[in-house]
Amino acid sequence: MRMLLEILTAQLGFKSKRFTIVWIYCTFFILFSNQNVQAQEIKASAKVDTTSIVIGNQFILDLSVTHPSNINPEWPAVADTFSLLEVVQRSGIDTPSSN
């Protein structure tokens, strides 16, 4: 076992055997831990009808989020003005549709 540890320490380029042991334990833990990792499909989008925008006039910004039914996203609080734009009217949040 010591010979294997010395070979691994030399091959991996580590300076101490203790670091090699810790590295081996961490590697085995990561490789063999039985964790269920599942990605959640969440998509956010912002749309503006660019064919009807006139400089200085109002336009409608449509914000939407597509998410799994077990997730309840929270909409951020938008200030009355941001980045030289003024929020004139806020509509309510539409009811989610089932997929």
Neighbours of 20 (CB within 10 A): 20
Element (H, E) at 22: helix 17-32
Residues 70, 47 share a domain: yes
pLDDT at 19 over 60: yes
State pLDDT tens for residues 37-51: 566 788 888 888 888
Residues 82, 60 share a domain: yes
In a domain, 91, yes or no: no
What pLDDT is stored for residue 98 in this prediction? 56
Domain limits for position 78: 43-86
Neighbours of 17 (CB within 10 A): 13
State pLDDT tens for residues 49-92: 888 778 888 888 888 888 888 888 777 777 788 777 788 888 87
Q: How many domains does the chain have?
A: 2
In a domain, 99, yes or no: no
What pLDDT is stored for residue 55 in this prediction? 82
Residues 47, 28 share a domain: no
Q: Mean pLDDT, to the nearest integer, of 14-20?
A: 74
The residues, any chain, with a CB within 8 Å of residue 4's CB and separated by 6 or more, are none
Residues 49, 77 share a domain: yes
Q: Tokens in use for 78?
A: 């938008």
77 against 98, higher pLDDT: 77
